[in-house]
């Protein structure tokens, strides 16, 4: 069975990576970039609308 990942993209430094939805805060909470440590709402790191949907669905 495939694991579901949320694809993330940092709006500050452009880093892209993936995390399991369970490892992320809810989409309205703050989340810090792994690379530049910019802090934004987790929703702003979702790469596409689909990634945001996955994030919401699995929390
Ligand atoms: Zn960053």
Between the two ends of the chain, the Cα-to-Cα distance in Å is 19
51 CA to centre of ligand 1 in angstroms: 17
With respect to residue 10, please indicate whether it lies within any of the assigned structural domains. yes
Q: Could you tell me if residue 1 is inside a domain?
A: no
The tens-digit pLDDT sequence of the chain (59 residues) is 568 999 999 999 999 999 999 999 999 999 999 999 999 999 999 999 999 999 999 98
DSSP class of 31? E
Instruction: Find the 59 Cα to ligand 1 centroid distance in Å.
Output: 23
Entry pTM: 0.91
Tell me how far the alpha carbon of residue 1 lies from the centroid of ligand 1, in angstroms.
31
Q: What is the pLDDT of residue 59?
A: 81
Q: How many residues does the chain have?
A: 59
In a domain, 52, yes or no: yes
Total domain count, the chain: 1
Residue 1 is predicted with a pLDDT of 56
Please report whether residue 13 resides in a domain. Answer: yes
pLDDT (0 to 100) of residue 26: 96
In which domain, by residue range, is 21 found? Answer: 6-57
Q: What is the CATH number of the domain that holds 22?
A: 2.20.28
């Amino acid at each position: 069975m495939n694991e579901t990942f949320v694809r993330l993209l940092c709006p500050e430094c452009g880093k892209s990576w993936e995390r399991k939805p369970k490892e992320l805060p809810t989409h309205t909470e703050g989340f810090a970039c792994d690379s530049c440590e910019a802090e934004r709402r987790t929703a702003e790191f979702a790469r596409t609308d689909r990634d945001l949907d996955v994030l919401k669905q699995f929390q």
